[in-house]
Amino acid sequence: MAIYKAPLRDMRFVLDEVFKSSEFWASVPALAETDREVVDAILEESAKLNENVIFPLNRSGDEEGAQFSNGVVTTPKGFKEAFRQYGDGGWIGLGADPRWGGQGLPKTVTVMTDEILFSANPSFALYPLLGIGAALAMSQHASDELNDFYLPKIYSGEWAGTMCLTEPHAGTDLGIIKTRAVPAADGSYAISGTKIFITGGEHDLASNIIHLVLAKLPDAPAGSKGISLFLVPKFLANADGSLGERNKAAAGSIEHKMGIKASSTCVMNFDSARGWLIGNVNEGLAAMFVMMNYERLSMGIQGLGASEVAYQSAAAYARDRLQGRAATGVQSPEKPADSLLVHPDVRRMLLKTRAHNEAARAFAMYTSRYLDLSKYGEGEAARAGADRVALLTPVVKAFLSDKGFEGCVDAQQVFGGHGFIREWGMEQLVRDVRIAQIYEGANGIQAQDLMGRKVVKNKGVFVASFVAEMREQAARLNAPELATLKAAFVAAIDRLEGLTRTVIEASAKNPDEINAAAVDYLHVFGFTAYAYMWALMAEAALPKKAEDAFYADKLTLAEFFVARVLPEMEGRARAVEAGAGTMMQFSEAYF
Amino acid sequence: MAIYKAPLRDMRFVLDEVFKSSEFWASVPALAETDREVVDAILEESAKLNENVIFPLNRSGDEEGAQFSNGVVTTPKGFKEAFRQYGDGGWIGLGADPRWGGQGLPKTVTVMTDEILFSANPSFALYPLLGIGAALAMSQHASDELNDFYLPKIYSGEWAGTMCLTEPHAGTDLGIIKTRAVPAADGSYAISGTKIFITGGEHDLASNIIHLVLAKLPDAPAGSKGISLFLVPKFLANADGSLGERNKAAAGSIEHKMGIKASSTCVMNFDSARGWLIGNVNEGLAAMFVMMNYERLSMGIQGLGASEVAYQSAAAYARDRLQGRAATGVQSPEKPADSLLVHPDVRRMLLKTRAHNEAARAFAMYTSRYLDLSKYGEGEAARAGADRVALLTPVVKAFLSDKGFEGCVDAQQVFGGHGFIREWGMEQLVRDVRIAQIYEGANGIQAQDLMGRKVVKNKGVFVASFVAEMREQAARLNAPELATLKAAFVAAIDRLEGLTRTVIEASAKNPDEINAAAVDYLHVFGFTAYAYMWALMAEAALPKKAEDAFYADKLTLAEFFVARVLPEMEGRARAVEAGAGTMMQFSEAYF
């Protein structure tokens, strides 16, 4: 069985020692009341609830799956009670505005509880997560009337939420959706169409489900400029909040999937369902992107969460499993064989995964600071925060989920044949985490967003600002113990900066160069960001290395990262340099 | 649904134009009668049988799985009839000695029918494959009496075979197995013990199953030098070949796995089961390695087979699926969107997979020539062939299965959300191919075998011979069109040669350097070998590039390989250079 303990010590290291979050919160007036001790209590409680209640449902949830019958979805045993406990504990509203019953905690806190939840049970995690995302989009775009009515119930877990974008013929390309919204006399709309891949479109965890649906008005312009966003509840609610008539929004079936089987993925049929406009007509995509960006960060954290469980489980297995003898001589003569940990290649897989995970955790926290600044900061700080978030979101989503998948696959490999057997739980981690690379914009789309919109379109100004900040950090790494790390970090920054210029120049001549470079460039960016995180972590650990092995080990892992993990970046960089080359020469018939 | 057509044109290109197999067969007296036209008929028939009968059972086989009840395994619907057809058609004995009913075809032929079979249905493929492997080990080590009695029935598919190595506590480390063999008065042995992960340990496809079982005699030396090999049939056979008493060898359960669900993976209990010694006492491991090496090549081909189906399916999807518009301007104004193929990143994923697959196919054929030489060649040619096989087998097994997995994951990504849904079949490809990296010696073990036994132990003489041959090939690439390919190929050879020296030298001081470098070195080796294959393919294609787009496209894909695929090698090379470094500094408690 997979094992999991929330990595609180590492989280506190990142929170306090690397990022000095108390100082950060104190510097932002709207966050000044964030209490470090309360945060600690929250982390402890989150660990307890997830380790003891939600994690144990992960394996059984995979075996049982979400079941569909006659339009009704039944979640696996225990999910309903756990969801109730999760809602009652205030976890859904942890980061929400107190005006609607939220706890008002910053992203720099909820990023950690999100990670714990995704480690514990990614299928379960999606049910509250979609509600939070829907509520977030509403809170920024819907009327006060809608928000005051719906949000408190979503944040309490009484009601749940979804986002309905994809249609059978329209995934990435939302401009060609066919769902229609016809205005009614009372100001509502009649929504008709079919949506697919709707996470939590139907289930038994909440008494009502609030769907946010993209649709087009009869006279809407073609393409993505003609999309509006609607709120479509499963049950129409009475003015007092009690449930009224069933709306004509129903699940037609659920998908049978590779993983996250306990999460219901629904085909949703809207048949003149009553809905209400959110935000302005034809500006639905912008409102939906509020939700998408929130989800995208979460999907990166899903990758990290899975990879953390994978690491912990594989490390424990490697300690216990006796196979072969150390090349340098027998280590445990009293036993029939030495542990797997005497074999360097087993350590290589474990340490690579751990080095990725620790960098990912720091990078998610780093990005969350900018999310907090963009939301709670003022003036220039808020604007700069939003720009940084725009730049980093696709990287967090894609790089963390790609490396999370890699970590799960490597950890599975440590188990040998047992890794392929269901009861050990490792194969489930691989199957479950795989979706994080696909949904909420496949990672190729994230890369295109980064390379096209966030880099080339603004001629690299976002990257330049990030690079300048990294150079400042590199300049501070003057301790002789960090010389190798510093050199590697500077080399990575140089490479990223050079490639940014290369692609901007090449794309001026051939617009295909953007998409041709995108994925490899995103990986170069991700590795550089991870090198930055290791620079920050090493800087924080160095002064304490003599007092505690925890810090000395951080420095050693930073060295390992530079020596054995970071080199992959060079292959990616050379692929970027090679450009579109011959790719587009092949005829479509060739494929 | 996944789609599949056997890539006969590409196979013939490799067979005839790249490797001039007819000339090769003519040069080896024992193979001189191999008839090119017969081979072609075999390929056509193999394609027909696999595409029409065996491939359609792949998806349903996954849904149904092998079922276990009261010691009996029921295979999915259609498997029994297909196995009968496969056996009756002579496919199991295709490469076997005619003395026992085989067709006597060389590996340079069966490597292609193996690929087609693994593309069609990897779960199904394992049933005949294990019998072939068992028969091969027997044919080289068992007495004439045993062989004449058992082999014809295995090659006809009347009986099946297994290999029983792993025990619950002993996977890679066979030296610590506990299964015991006690000599009986009649020259047979009483075998007792439990074996796990036994592919095809029990099923309903054949009337009898012949298990090859590793066990220790009561007075055997400790460790791997005390292991003997036994033949243990499910039913004891009468002298006339009819089935007699049920032997005490039975399945206790089957595993629930990530993939290859239609293949039964059994826990086998031997309870004083009657068995017969194969080969010499205490030399069982050597006999088993005949089988293992055969299987290892097959596991690489399993990776290729899966990746070929993945490519074909994803390419067809990308052609048909309309999403977005080309960056260079609308391509299909009459349609609501352009096809996925207008996006360079989609092409990148497809072309990478295809470039890997085509190199893998050539590399498997190249290795098969040396298998043929080692088996059918004479004197020095046979010895050199065996050395080359020893060097390449771990590379074929691990690199082809690693790249096969990567290809399936990339192809799944092309499908977006649909890739995660069972009905599309892409997620099954990922789940099924994953085992190829794990079984028959996990890929880390393959890398250790390569780096330790095949490189460091002989101080690099096997590599030196391979490098010399590659340099000769590089020297022949003098056409100006191939200059870039030549430069990249030579650079790869230089890198491989340099790293070989680096690891040999480092390991003299620290034996942990071998295993620390192993996996990354194997990938450097694999990329260099693929560059060699692309050099051979480009050389063969160049003179015909004007006459047929097939050849021009080969040259373009070779360019793509150099520009966009081969660069990954440099990251691997730098990781090898970094060495064990800090890896072993962490205490076991750290993990």
B257 touches chain A (CB under 8 A): yes
Least CB–CB distance from B327: residue in A328, A350, A512? A512
- In angstroms, the separation between the Cα of residue A64 and the nearest Cα of chain B is 14
B588 and chain A in contact, CB less than 8 A:
yes
Res. A224: pLDDT tops 90: no
Active-site choice (B115, B406, B427, B440): B440
Q: How far is B321 from chain A (nearest CA, A)?
A: 8
Using the predicted structure, report yes or no on whether residue A475 has a pLDDT greater than 80.
Answer: yes
Reported ipTM exceeds the 0.95 cut: yes
Least CB-CB distance to B582: which of A169, A519, A560? A560
Instruction: Pick the residue from chain B with its C-alpha nearest to A565.
Output: B575
In tens, the pLDDT along B348-391 reads 999 999 999 999 999 999 999 999 999 999 999 999 999 999 99
Q: Tell me the mean pLDDT in the region A140-156.
A: 96
β partners of residue B246 = B235
Q: With 80 as the cut, is the pLDDT of residue A290 above it?
A: no
Measured CA to CA, the distance from residue B323 to residue A166 in angstroms comes to 12
Q: Look at residue A324 and tell me whether its pLDDT is greater than 90.
A: no
What residues of chain B, 559 to 578, have a C-beta less than 8 Å from chain A? Answer: 559-560, 563-564, 567-575, 578
Q: Do A583 and B351 touch (CB under 8 A)?
A: yes
- The structure tokens listed for B167 are 């025990």
pLDDT of residue B173: 81
Compute the nearest-CA separation of B418 from chain A (Å): 9
Q: What is the pLDDT of residues B66-120, one digit of tens each?
A: 999 999 999 999 999 999 999 999 999 999 999 999 999 999 999 999 999 999 9
Strand partners, A170: A167
Q: Give B515's pLDDT tier (boundaries 50, 70, 90).
A: very high
Question: Which of B171, B197, B559 has the CB atom closest to A323's CB atom?
Answer: B171
Residue B293 has pLDDT above 80, yes or no: no
Q: Of A564, A568, A576, which to mutate for an interface test with B (greatest number of B Cβ within 10 Å)? A: A564
**With an 8 Å Cβ cutoff, are B319 and A588 in contact?**
yes
Tell me whether residue A440 is one of the annotated catalytic residues. Answer: yes
pLDDT of residue B295: 76
User: Could you tell me which of A426, A400, A427, A431 has the C-alpha nearest to residue A262?
Assistant: A431
pLDDT in tens, A150-197: 999 999 999 999 999 999 988 778 888 999 999 999 999 999 999 999
Whether the CB of B586 is below 8 Å from some CB of chain A: the reply is yes
Sequence-ordered list of residues with C-beta below 8 angstroms from that of A51, at least 6 positions apart, any chain: A4, A5, A6, A120
Walk me through the domains of chain A, giving residue ranges and CATH numbers. 289-578 (1.20.140.10)
**Residue of chain A whose Cα is closest to the Cα of B402:** A409
B429 neighbourhood in chain A, CB within 8 Å: none
- Averaged pLDDT score across all residues of chain B: 96
What distance lies between CA B127 and its chain's CA centroid? 14
A582 to chain B: which residues are within 8 Å by CB? Answer: 556, 559-560, 563
How close is the nearest chain B Cα to the Cα of A288, in Å? 19
Q: Which of A406, A440, A497, A513 is catalytic?
A: A440
Task: Give Cα separations from B142 to A275, A368, B127, B150 (angstroms).
Answer: 77, 67, 21, 10
pLDDT digit string, tens, across residues B200-232: 999 999 999 999 999 999 999 998 899 999 999
pLDDT above 70 covers what percent of chain B?
100
Report the gap between the CA of A25 and the closest CA in chain B (Å).
32
Exposed e or buried b for every residue in A567-580, given b needs 16+ CB within 10 A? Answer: bbbbbbbbbbbbbb
Taking residues A11-39, what's their average pLDDT? 97
pLDDT in tens, A47-104: 999 999 999 999 999 999 999 999 999 999 999 999 999 999 999 999 999 999 999 9
A469 CB-near residues (< 8 Å, 6+ apart): none
pTM of the model: 0.97
For testing contact with chain B, the best of A348, A510, A551 (most B CBs within 10 A): A348
The Cα B325–Cα B169 span in angstroms is 56
Tell me whether residues B258 and A351 touch, CB distance under 8 A.
no
Contact B257 A327 (CB under 8 A): no
Which amino acid, residue A342?
V
**Residue B466 vs residues A88, A340, A493, B366, B471: alpha-carbon distances, Å:** 67, 33, 38, 12, 9
Express as a percent the part of chain B with pLDDT over 90. Answer: 94
* A190 interfacial to chain B (CB closer than 8 Å): no
- Does the beta-carbon distance from A588 to B347 stay under 8 Å? no
Band the pLDDT of B415: cuts 50, 70, 90.
very high
Contact B315 A437 (CB under 8 A): no
> Is the predicted pLDDT of residue B290 greater than 80, yes or no?
no
Would the CA dihedral through A195, A115, A391, A281 be positive or negative?
A: positive
